[in-house]
Amino acid sequence: MALSQSEQKILVANTAIDTLIEKGLIFSGMKIGLGTGSTAMPAVKRLAEHIKDGTLKDIKAVVTSFQTQNACQDYGIPVYSMNDRAIGGKLDLAIDGADEVDPECSCIKGGGAAHVREKIVEYNAKVFVVIADSSKSVKTIGTKFPVPVEVIAEARIPVENALNELGAVCVLREGVRKCGPVITDNGNQILDCTWKTPINVAEMETKIDEICGVVEVGLFSKNKPIVFISKEDGSVEIRNLK
Ligand code: 5RP
């Protein structure tokens, strides 16, 4: 029987954590960045199981959202800031979900509005790992799943004008069970952008990040990840793992 999407998320999270331990990329004493979302959460759980059974010791985690912070607190995984001396702004590995992954392993992230801290963590990790179910694997980026841009509230309209100049149609992300816009963990707002035709991901990432008032865009093209993608048939495809 075909696996459901939530079964695929658990499969890919468990496979990635176990494979990365086997390959020595997750190891005792390491500094690890932990992502946000419904695929990252089972990965945090699997990591916690390996800490509990003694496979992993002295793990220092840096989280990407309040969701991940709460999960680490529940599981007893010690949480640090990127700025702590024990971390020194650098991580051995970061693992996270994605909204879309293209054949070059460029991604859209930020469906959970956490892409600012995700990018800080994942662009400062020696190894970046993306875990995703098969629905996230796409040929091109930009026309289907919206690319989130976190903006300073006061700059919303000027940023929207600049994004329109880059061909994007923008929608302010609205809260669910909260009136008005989503307010991110950093106190900002999100413009969700789509284009009529596929975009050049690396060029667009650079151009959007140059707009005054943009905090960060959810395009990830500059630290190419190892990618694990689970399939309905129970297999897991791995890209970029040596
Ligand atoms: C949060 C993210 C998530 O990693 C992304 O939205 C995927 O989420 P999920 O695993 O729940 O499908 O970028 O900002």
Is 140 in contact with 194 (CB distance < 8 Å)? no
Query: According to the model, what pLDDT value does residue 208 have?
Result: 98
Q: For residue range 74-132, list pLDDT tens digits in order.
A: 999 999 999 999 999 999 999 999 999 999 999 999 999 999 999 999 999 999 999 99
Q: Is 22 left (phi over 0), alpha (psi -120 to 50) or beta?
A: alpha
Nearest to 27 by CA among 4, 2, 70, 57: 57
Same domain (yes/no): 9, 106: yes
- For residues 92 and 169, state if they share a domain: no
Query: pLDDT, tens digit, for every residue of 142-162?
Result: 999 999 999 999 999 999 999
Examine the domain organization and report whether 114 and 188 are in the same domain: no
Distance CA 102, CA 9 (A): 18
Ligand 1 pocket, residue 124 CB under 6 Å: no
**pLDDT over 90, % of the chain:** 99
Q: Outline where DSSP puts E strands in the chain.
A: 31-34, 60-63, 79-80, 91-96, 100-101, 107-108, 125-133, 147-151, 169-172, 189-194, 214-217, 219-220, 226-230, 236-239
The rounded distance, in Å, linking the Cα atoms of 91 and 124 is 6
Q: Distance (Å, rounded) from C-alpha 48 to C-alpha 143?
A: 37
Range of the domain at 124: 5-138+222-239
Q: Which atom of ligand 1 is nearest to the CA of 111?
A: 6
Residues 121 and 152 in one domain: no
Q: What does R_g of the chain's alpha carbons equal in angstroms?
A: 18
CATH assignment at residue 198: 3.30.70.260
Q: Tell whether pTM > 0.85.
A: yes
Average pLDDT, the chain: 98
Q: Is 98 in the pocket of ligand 1 (CB under 6 A)?
A: yes
97 CA distance to ligand 1 middle (Å): 5
Instruction: Identify whether the C-beta of residue 89 lies closer than 8 Å to the C-beta of residue 186.
Output: no
**35 shares its domain with 106:** yes
Tell whether ligand 1 has an atom less than 6 A from the beta carbon of residue 114. yes
Name the token pair of 106: 């460029």
